[in-house]
Structure 1
Amino acid sequence: MKPTLKINLNKIYDNAKIVKDTLDKYNVDITSVTKLHCCNPVIVDTLMQAGIKKFGDSRIDNLKNIKDIDAEKWLIRLPSISEAEEVVKYSDISLNSEYDTVKALNEEAKIQNKVHDILLMFDVGDLREGYFDKKDIVDSAKRIKNLTNIRLRGVATNLTCYGGVLPDENNLTNLVKVNELLEAELNTNLDIVSGGNSTSYTMFREDNPVKGVTNIRIGDTILFGRDCTYRSHIEGMNKDAFIIKAEIIEIKEKPSIPIGRRGFSALNSKPEFVDEGIRKRAILSVGKQDIDMDMFPLDNDTKILGGSSDHLIIDITDSKKDYKVGDTFELYMYYTATLRAFTSKYVVKEFI
């Protein structure tokens, strides 16, 4: 049996409805971030049934998967000039911070006889992408206004991903004020203020909205029912929409500490071990090429010991189940493990 990723669509739907209903109270819409599941059309359809109509991905190849779906498609990673043709062809909105890139998108939009929408990224402190100086973003916006096939829709920011800076009233209000500044300088209405990602949802969930934010780009919270600010499960939401199952290919009793002079493991880590005596271990037919260790077993009496590129080692000593070679073993998956499983061609995807 090949390793299989089980995807529970009902649980994803329920999570999406909770998030959407919460944000609807504040007239904030959602761009569902799809990069974890590579913009899978089945999951996108489930999210659309929950009322979500905008989808954002960091890779054009993923957006191609939903090119025939009637929804607004966002490219949420800064475009490369070299991919301008595909950006215009497969996305309705892209997030930008360089005038030369926007100019290339404009030229391509002319060729395709389209008007391409953009948001300008403004860095409010996390120090990843975006303009950092208000004068710079105003000067760039004024030049962009003269481009015939580009429509500036507003501003966006990213938080938490690089610097770990959390969204708060100060930094998101700063973003809103940048949008207002651009409206005044350009004498136009800009209708989108995209105030970050899943960490920004916490503020609205705690009834602490930032006036002027009109959009949040959310992936993790919808897919895993997780409050990304506190890294904790949100009561009433599903955290187990993704489960991986793999076949047991060996069961042996072995010492808990490797024997001999030790250096680095195969994937450049230097693991530490605790002496727990002889333990019963199961090896599964899946490894770090397909998954990350960001998981935990459904069987609470077992634990992950570690793995290599092709193997996952589980301590089954204390389990009440009598596992045999050939049995399947299941684990709940979190973000990075699920991300890797979706991109692995060796993992079967099974929708429930």
Structure 2
Amino acid sequence: MIYSSTPRIEIDLSKVAHNAEKIVRLYGSKGIHIMGVTKGVAGSAEVADILVKSGITTLADTKLKNLTTLKKAGVKAELVLLRTPSLGDAEETVEIADISMNTELTVIEALSQQALQQGTIHRIILMMEMGDLREGIMPEDLEKFIEKVLLLKGVKITGLGANFACFGGVKPSSRKMEELSAAAEKVEAMFSLQLTYITGGNSGNYHWFKETKNTGRINNLRIGESIYLGCETLDREEIPGLYTDAFTLVAEVIESKVKPSLPFGETAQNAAGEYPSFADQGMMKRAILAVGSQDVVVSGLNPRADIEILGSSSDHLIINAKDTDLPVGKEVAFHVNYSALLSLMASAYVSKKYYFSNFIQLPQPG
């Protein structure tokens, strides 16, 4: 018998393409264009190519290494650095990214110097703080900030944006979108700017978009999770008509035995520095899978079989097999959430299998 490499993440490019096309059409119906965010797939050129073929012309990532991969692969899209560059990355940012998001004048000054040295114009999107308390220029400081940026050569303000539903969990409400639209209109009028991107958020903007009758000046969203996992990100509700299973983790059973449910002997901290506690369930069928916390955020896994994840160490996933037959060598599949997807795609220890479905059938509503 020939065994496939595990652990692996299987990527159904047909389902990714379907979701991307649906997302482009959905948001495009109200004049909103999509930045396809590739950080969730670690800058995968295979996935990026699918996004471009699905109608997405701008790709964004937080890692310059990922953008470099896309550029070397010849992906035909504008590339956006989705995080303010570090000072040490200013040169590479100008070389690799067409656009970067910024909140610090010192960094923009460094980008200006590098752009002048490289004989180019580097475009920037200014991010405004609107309550989520991740990145952003405070609203009361925005006008003076722009005044200083406009004195710099080699950089051009091409957009204004805000972040939501990431660090603080703040919703991109209608009121927040109206405030961002008003800020964009004010700085355009005050400084004679023509902003190409008014980027109002991410996959968390789905409910706002569906409910609003007027999107204002918001013309761009940065979407990753909705494309990859078929959900919005405020409550992780599934978006009708999208696949939620385009990505699957597959791990192999390397031990299968009947063991006690309680550890025996004196206990102390485990490998994660925790003092674990266990319920006494008597003897149980236990299996170990060859994947662990070094490879994946285990809390983001949901087994497709009727089994229970008991816990993990760095390289082992401990399973209560219940009534499921899990002999050594059997492969076990898991749904993944976004945190699990991020870690799996970034892990050098997890192989990636890209394929196109021969037949796809969408799940029925309900």
Which of these residues, 238, 263, 284, is aligned with residue 279 of structure 1? Answer: 284
Query: Within 5 A, what are the aligned runs for 1:244-283?
Result: 244-283=249-288
Which of these residues, 2, 5, 11, is aligned with residue 7 of structure 1? Answer: 11
Which of these residues, 57, 64, 68, is aligned with residue 61 of structure 2? Answer: 57
1:35 aligns with 2:36: no
1:343 aligns with 2:342: no
1:85 aligns with 2:91: yes
Query: What is the root-mean-square deviation in Å for CA atoms of aligned residues?
Result: 1.4
Amino acid at match of 1:65: T
Shift of residue 326 of structure 1?
1.6
* Paired residues of 2:121 and 2:155 also in contact (CA < 8 A): yes
* Paired residues of 2:188 and 2:194 also in contact (CA < 8 A): yes
* Paired residues of 1:22 and 1:205 also in contact (CA < 8 A): no
- How many residues are matched? 348
1:17 aligns with 2:21: yes
1:98 aligns with 2:104: yes
Instruction: State the alpha-carbon separation in 2 of the partners of residues 255 and 150 from structure 1.
Output: 64
Shift of residue 2 of structure 1?
3.1
Shift of residue 292 of structure 1?
1.3
Query: Within 5 A, what are the aligned runs for 1:1-352?
Result: 1-67=5-71, 68-134=74-140, 136-293=141-298, 294-299=300-305, 301-319=306-324, 322-352=325-355
Amino acid at match of 2:114: E
Shift of residue 274 of structure 1?
2.4
Shift of residue 329 of structure 1?
1.6
Shift of residue 252 of structure 1?
1.0
Shift of residue 205 of structure 1?
3.2
Instruction: State the alpha-carbon separation in 1 of the partners of residues 274 and 336 from structure 2.
Output: 22
**Uncovered stretches (5+) of structure 1, i.e. residues with no partner:** none
Shift of residue 208 of structure 1?
5.0
Instruction: State the alpha-carbon separation in 2 of the partners of residues 206 and 308 from structure 1.
Output: 44
**Uncovered stretches (5+) of structure 2, i.e. residues with no partner:** 356-366
Instruction: State the alpha-carbon separation in 2 of the partners of residues 79 and 166 from structure 1.
Output: 26
Shift of residue 91 of structure 1?
0.5
* Paired residues of 1:226 and 1:239 also in contact (CA < 8 A): yes
The 3-state SS of whatever aligns with 1:216 is: strand
- More off after superposition, 226-235 vs 334-343: 226-235
* Alignment TM-score, normalising by the size of structure 1: 0.95
* Alignment TM-score, normalising by the size of structure 2: 0.92
* Paired residues of 2:9 and 2:248 also in contact (CA < 8 A): yes
Shift of residue 233 of structure 1?
1.9
Amino acid at match of 1:348: S
Percent of aligned positions with the same letter in both sequences? 36
Shift of residue 28 of structure 1?
0.4
Instruction: State the alpha-carbon separation in 1 of the partners of residues 280 and 23 from structure 2.
Output: 45
* Paired residues of 2:157 and 2:195 also in contact (CA < 8 A): yes
The 3-state SS of whatever aligns with 1:249 is: strand
Instruction: State the alpha-carbon separation in 1 of the partners of residues 302 and 276 from structure 2.
Output: 19
The 3-state SS of whatever aligns with 1:247 is: strand
Shift of residue 258 of structure 1?
2.1
Instruction: State the alpha-carbon separation in 2 of the partners of residues 265 and 210 from structure 1.
Output: 51
Instruction: State the alpha-carbon separation in 1 of the partners of residues 347 and 330 from structure 2.
Output: 22
Instruction: State the alpha-carbon separation in 1 of the partners of residues 236 and 214 from structure 2.
Output: 20
Shift of residue 314 of structure 1?
1.5
Instruction: State the alpha-carbon separation in 2 of the partners of residues 263 and 172 from structure 1.
Output: 51
- Give CA-to-partner distance per residue, 1:185-218, whole Å, 9 cap, x none: 2122222111011101222134555311010011
Amino acid at match of 2:28: D
Instruction: State the alpha-carbon separation in 1 of the partners of residues 304 and 177 from structure 2.
Output: 39
- Give CA-to-partner distance per residue, 1:140-189, whole Å, 9 cap, x none: 11121122211101211111111111110111211111111211221222
Amino acid at match of 1:127: L
- Give CA-to-partner distance per residue, 1:280-319, whole Å, 9 cap, x none: 01101111101111111121x2121111100011111222
Amino acid at match of 2:280: D
Amino acid at match of 2:284: R
* Paired residues of 1:203 and 1:209 also in contact (CA < 8 A): no
Amino acid at match of 1:192: Y
Instruction: State the alpha-carbon separation in 2 of the partners of residues 117 and 27 from structure 1.
Output: 22
Instruction: State the alpha-carbon separation in 2 of the partners of residues 128 and 246 from structure 1.
Output: 35
Shift of residue 44 of structure 1?
0.4
* Paired residues of 1:5 and 1:348 also in contact (CA < 8 A): yes
